[in-house]
A and B are shown apart, each in its own frame.
Chain A
Amino acid sequence: MSNDSSSCGGHGHSHGHEHTHPHSEGGCCGGHGHEHGHDHDHAHEGGCCGHDHGGHGQTKPLFDGPIFKNDFERREFLKTAIPGAIAGAALTIPIAGYMVLPSIEGNKHSWVSVGPVEKFVLGETVLVELTNPDDFSWAGVTSKVAAWVRYVAEGEFIAFSVNCSHLGCPVRWLPNAKLFMCPCHGGVYSNDGHVVAGPPPKSLNRYEVRIEGGQVQLKTQAIFLA
């Protein structure tokens, strides 16, 4: 913008039309009355100092401005553009980094107790909830997740992720049928989490389980992604 007048003046291009009218926002390049708004911008960005514009209402050459006609103008353009580009980069890098880095760094995962061993009944599969201790203090209930935990045998537990391997919806356990069923698209998993029907591509994901000081503990983990 700033080199508009300087290059015009400095180079002595002939002005097709001077600003002859106080309100002639389109006057510079002629053009149609209906197109005033646009012509205004166009004129100031490069049309003003170009060659003759032909008669009123004729199609005028686009981009016939001063930019890139000779080395002087190229230099003038770069004088404006390069600092702008550097400023843009100086702003973009920290902002993009701030937004993207947390999702690259990954989360910390740790063992979380879901209850004493006595609470679980041998052979039964129950829903437990665990709260991610790594989450923000303002996360509230959002930091909770659920898991299906089964007391398989003395000292042995299995924990399934509730997330269907299809699109992540929470599967439900049908105790009599001994099946996990997904409410979204009817994916069905067997007792041991294998797909037996519907769209899921993979078995139910499992959590690591351990027994520590009489407590059943699950290790938090990333949500399963297909």
Chain B
Amino acid sequence: MLKKTQKAVIGTLEWLEDRTGLWAMFGPVLTHLAPRDAKWWYVYGSATLMAFMIQVATGVALMFSYIPSGGQAYDSLKYIADVAPWGHLIRGMHYFGASAMILLIGIHMGQVFFHGSYKFPREMNWVTGIALLAFTIGLGFTGQTLRWDSNAVWSIVVAAEQAARVPFIGHWLAHFILAGDNINGATLGRFFTLHVFVLPALAIAGIGLHMVLVMRHGIAEMPDEAHPVIPETYREEYHARLEKTGVPFWLMAWRDSVFSLVVVLAVVFAAIYFNPPPVELPPDPSIIETDPIPDFYLRWYLAVLALAQSDMEDYIILGAPALIGILLFAIPFLSSSGHRAPSKRPWAIVSLLTAMLVVGAFWIEAEKGNWTPNFHPKPLTPELIGATEGPIWHGAQLFQEKGCINCHSLANNGGHRGPDLTYVGDRLHKDNLTIRINMGGVNMPAYAGSLTGDDLRDLISFLETRKKKQPALEGEAAKEEPAKKS
């Protein structure tokens, strides 16, 4: 009986294989030989794929409720985020899945670069990987716009304004992004279509090609100083080594499986215990209480743009992405042979570290966001001002009314766009202060026309008292030691 069943099952499988050829097509994915040292360094690619699958699955789930209409998307997203059973969880998983995917791509790229795995004959593995990176960033940005809140519409405005800087076709490009000459009812459709159809299709095709290339060239071994890449002999030597010491892929895949599980669990737990970015104010462009900021993984690039000097800004807005893109695509062609071992590629390691430091530094700057004025500073307290009436008090009021505090901070209250003025009295004398306030600077308006002589005098008296040790107040002077300043 058992034998009969077994025979029937085998017979069915054989029939299926004869008619479909599925095993012949996909069997080699499992059985092909992988280098025996392909261990924990190699799990990031498959984990990225797992993150992508999370995105596809949670994205499909979100689509059950999302309405891609300019007038209704916001409400439907509010419903998903706040009302729908488990809607908060699924939205969270989609957000943290996206974050995981971008982080894992970064690690995967870093590992491939670190180990020189992009070299001959795997140049196109790298190139298709960069294309996938671009699709993923596109998915990230378009995904943020589907929140269709105030942050989304203003981000699209900023994107269109950047596109408008392109020579010749800039304005047309901006209008194409906006689906008109301003944000309107058709704008969301573009971002929706890109996010839900175009980019996922490109990503799936790209992933397919990326995997075909992995199969074609085999999984790279761990770099070995003794085996630099010599294109004439590399393939033969690689296959010879593999025949001797390789292990069928499916016997090594448990690590990928375990790490992918970690990724899935991390995404689910993050979705349970942390919140995705909030759905902000409605997508009403007449609401101006906004400061459009991308999600964290694009924020370092925001800092690049914000810190660009204004006279080279056009070149940076257009040139930086082009340059970064070209450089990334060019990497395997700049060095396609020779050593893979990090110990023999000091400059490659220096480049990798430099790239990480640069991105990290911009990231930190972006978190500080010092280039944005503070529109909601706390009122200065009498203790901080050191007076409750008189010219110093009046100067302090002017400091707040005239917008100084929006860009300059005092004892950590106010903006950080301009220099911190907590101790400006130690640095600048009356004459310097007068000149700076009257004349302004590159990033500071000149106040000569908008302050009366009396106002200026009071403002300066207030600023002059901003010293490390406050000059003692009258009445309390007796208690304090007289502060002598050098």
A contact residues vs B (CB 8 Å cutoff): 22-23, 25, 32-38, 40, 57, 59, 100, 102-104, 106-107, 127, 129-130, 132, 135-146, 162-163, 166-172, 174, 176-179, 181-186, 188, 190, 196-199, 201, 221-223, 225-226
* Chain A residues with CB under 8 A of B218: 34
Question: Across the interface, which residues of B come within 8 angstroms of A178, CB to CB?
Answer: 450
CA distance A37 to B164 in the complex (A): 45
A23, A37, A179: the one contacting B445 at CB < 8 Å is A179
What are the residues of chain A within 8 A of B445 when measuring CB–CB? 179, 188, 190, 196-197
Q: Are the CB atoms of A32 and B372 closer together than 8 Å?
A: no
Q: Are B285 and A142 in contact (CB under 8 A)?
A: yes
Given A142-B283, A197-B445, A225-B170, also A136-B373 (CB < 8 A): no
Known: A136-B70, A185-B306. 5 other contacts (CB 8 A): A146-B288, A163-B157, A186-B371, A198-B443, A225-B174
Q: Is the CB of B161 closer than 8 A to any CB of chain A? A: yes
Would you call B313 an interface residue if the criterion is a C-beta within 8 Å of the partner chain's C-beta atoms?
Answer: yes
Name 20 interchain pairs, CB-CB below 8 A, sorted by A.
A34-B32, A34-B218, A38-B216, A103-B176, A135-B185, A139-B70, A140-B71, A142-B284, A145-B182, A169-B290, A171-B288, A172-B375, A177-B402, A181-B373, A222-B175, A225-B170, A225-B171, A225-B174, A226-B164, A226-B165
Q: Are B70 and A142 touching (Cβ within 8 A)?
A: yes
Residue of A nearest to B313 (CB): A199
* Contacting pair B185 A140 (CB below 8 A): yes
Instruction: Decide if B24 is an interface residue (CB 8 Å cutoff).
Output: yes
CA distance A129 to B272 in the complex (A): 39
In the complex, the answer to whether A141 meets B283 with C-beta atoms within 8 Å is yes
- By beta carbon, the residue of chain B nearest A139 is B185
Contact of B212 among A37, A106, A174, A184 (CB under 8 A): A37
Answer whether residue B162 sits at the interface, using C-beta atoms and an 8 A cutoff.
Answer: yes
Please name the residue on chain B nearest to A127 by beta carbon: B288
Interface centre among B71, B218, B235 (most CB of A within 10 A): B71
Q: Which residues of B contact A (CB under 8 A)?
A: 18, 21, 24-25, 28-29, 32-33, 69-72, 74, 153-154, 157-158, 160-162, 164-165, 170-172, 174-176, 178-188, 212, 215-216, 218, 235, 239, 242, 282-288, 290-292, 306, 310, 313, 371-373, 375, 401-403, 406-407, 415, 417, 440-446, 450
A38 touches B291 (CB 8 A): no
Shortest C-beta distance, B389 to chain A (Å), equals 19
A136 to B185, CA, bound (A): 6
CA distance A222 to B212 in the complex (A): 47
Query: Which residue of chain A lies nearest to B211 when distances are taken between CB atoms in the complex?
Result: A37
Residues in chain B near residue A179, CB distance under 8 A: 403, 445
Number of CB contacts from chain A to chain B under 8 A? 211
For A34, A135, A139, A176, the residue with the greatest tally of chain B CB atoms inside 10 Å of its CB is: A34
Is A199 a contact of B310 with CB atoms below 8 Å?
yes
How long is the Cα–Cα vector from A103 to B164 in the complex, in angstroms?
A: 14
Partner of A37, one of B215, B242, B282: B215
Q: A177-B403, A226-B161 are in contact. Are A197 and B25 (CB under 8 A)?
A: no
Please indicate the chain A residues that have their CB under 8 angstroms from the CB of B165 in the complex.
226
C-alpha gap A36/B30 in the complex (Å): 12
The residues of B that contact A162 with a CB separation of less than 8 Å are 288
Could you say which residues of chain A place their CB within 8 Å of the CB of B72? 138, 140
Known: A138-B70, A223-B178. A167 touches B375 (CB 8 A): no
Does B440 lie within 8 Å of A169, measured CB to CB? no
Cβ contacts under 8 Å, B24 to chain A: 23, 25, 36
Q: A142 contacts which of B185, B375, B446 (Cβ < 8 Å)?
A: B185
Residues on B with beta carbons closer than 8 Å to the beta carbon of A25: 21, 24-25
Distance A102 CA – B242 CA, assembled complex (angstroms):
57
| Residue of chain A at shortest CB distance from B33 | A34
> Which B residues lie within 8 Å of A132 (CB)?
182, 184
Give, as a whole number of angstroms, the nearest-CB distance from A52 to chain B. Answer: 20
Contact status of A201 and B310, CB under 8 A, knowing A146-B285, A185-B371, A226-B161: yes
Q: How far is B179's CA from A181's CA once the two chains are assembled, in angstroms?
A: 28
List, in ascending order, chain A residues with CB within 8 A of B180's CB.
102-103, 107
Known contacts A146-B285, A197-B441; is-contact A38 B70 (Cβ 8 Å): no
| Residues of B with C-beta under 8 A to A23 | 21, 24
B-chain residues with CB within 8 Å of residue A146 when the two chains form the complex:
285-288
B372 with A185: CB separation less than 8 A? yes
**Min CB–CB distance B215 → chain A (angstroms):** 5
Q: How far is A135 from B442 in the complex, measured between Cα atoms in Å?
A: 40
Shortest distance between the CB of B158 and any CB in chain A (Å): 5
Residue of A nearest to B190 (CB): A99
Judging by beta carbons under 8 Å apart, are B292 and A145 in contact? no
Q: Which residue of B lies closest to A186 (CB)?
A: B417
- The distance from the CB of B336 to the nearest CB of chain A, in whole angstroms, is 17
Residue of B nearest to A181 (CB): B373
Q: How far is the CB of B33 from chain A (nearest CB, A)?
A: 6
Nearest CB in chain B: distance from A48 CB, A: 17
Instruction: Please tell me if the beta carbons of B181 and A174 are within 8 angstroms of each other in the complex.
Output: no
> Is the CB–CB distance between A196 and B285 below 8 Å?
no
B213 to chain A: closest residue by CB: A38
* Nearest CB on A from B442, distance (A): 7
Complex Cα spacing A188 to B385, Å: 26
A23-B158 Cα distance, complex, nearest whole Å: 56
In the complex, the chain B residue whose C-beta lies closest to that of A129 is B286
Contact A181 B406 (CB under 8 A): yes
**Bound-complex Cα distance A127 to B162 (A):** 26
Residues of chain A contacted by B69 (CB below 8 angstroms): 138, 140
**Given A135-B184, A142-B184: A186 in contact with B372 (beta carbons within 8 A):** yes
Contact B32 A197 (CB under 8 A): no
Q: Which residue of B lies closest to A166 (CB)?
A: B161
Given A102-B180, A144-B284, A168-B158, A184-B28 contact (CB < 8 Å)? no
Rounded to whole Å, the gap between the CB of B229 and the closest CB of chain A is 17
Whether the pair B28, A177 counts as a contact (CB closer than 8 A) is no
